[in-house]
Amino acid sequence: MKPVILYCIATILTLNSVNAQNKVLDSSRYDELRILVEKESWSIKGNPENLLAYVKRADYKFQLNDIKGSIEDLNVVIKKIDDDPILYTRRAYAETLLKQYDSAKSDYTMVIALTPHNSVALTDRGITNCNLKLYKEARADFDKAISINSRNENAYIKRAEIKYLSKDLKGAYKDYNSASEINKEYAPTYKEMAQIATELKEYKLAIKNYDQYLNLVPDYVEGYLKRGLCLYEGKDYKKAIADFDKAILANLGKEEVYFKRGMSFFHLKNYALAIADLNRVIAMNDNNFTAKQVKETASKKLSATTKKKEEVVSIQKDL
């Protein structure tokens, strides 16, 4: 195998990782990379046909966030070696970062032409088609990627996004679920499934997915609010109150939260706490007439309950 290609294989995953983490270079690493760029520049000056030097310099430029410069060096190499999918993949990735989606799509198409059963390349081109708003073409790419590799988690997730955009909520849920079965530790998938299940009014399913998500991301306080709303719709008022309490403690005490907690207390016949929450709602929005009506009903019921208790106490005293 050519030295250029060996180097590409060794560096492509590193480059993706560096960018994905948006890694900030410390000054010593920055200076080191600048020296390495200069070193390869001298190698190229001494031998303009030294393609490995171009690839190395492209690597160092990429890490310095000189994406345009990295692409320029890759262009030189690809003109000489036009049949290697790794080179096209690297350039396509860099072009994507610069939002040069048409160019990236052309490069991914070359990768697919050179490696027809490349599920990852098909997924990458599908994502690029999404960026170009070519959703029909993207869907075809994801379909093919999954047919080649049924465990391509990313393809399922991206296809789910397209299905969601086209209002195919059940289809989107199915694809997210397939992705979650491949990678049970990827929390965002459960969050998406929970939101879709909520839209479908499948509240038990939504609660199940919020449970999974919050087990993985317990600090996502908004998740407690959303799960609480689903618990409320499922009439599990005690658990709903527990989640609303957590949301309020995290300063998510919006009108809806206090209203739903107040209604939960009302349904549990805890009228005093219901009134307290409904008063907060009315203070936030004096036009919330439902809160006023429920508060009035709760006040009457509390008064009647108090009166009945007083009568019982009076009877007991007489006895």
pTM for the structure as a whole = 0.86
Domain range list for the chain: 1-115
Residue 23 pLDDT: 60
Low-confidence stretches of the chain (pLDDT < 70) are: 1-23, 306-319
Segment 49-68, tens digit of pLDDT: 999 999 999 999 999 999 99
Q: How far from the centroid of its chain's Cα atoms is residue 269's Cα?
A: 39
Residue 314 pLDDT: 45
Positive or negative, the CA dihedral 144, 147, 152, 153 is positive
* CATH classification code of 1-115: 1.25.40.10
Mean pLDDT of the chain: 91
Token readout for 265 is 């207390």
* 168 exposure class (CB count in 10 Å sphere: 0-12, 13-18, 19+): middle
- Residue 23 DSSP class: P
Residue 263 vs residues 127, 203, 258, 292, 304: alpha-carbon distances, Å: 44, 18, 8, 12, 19
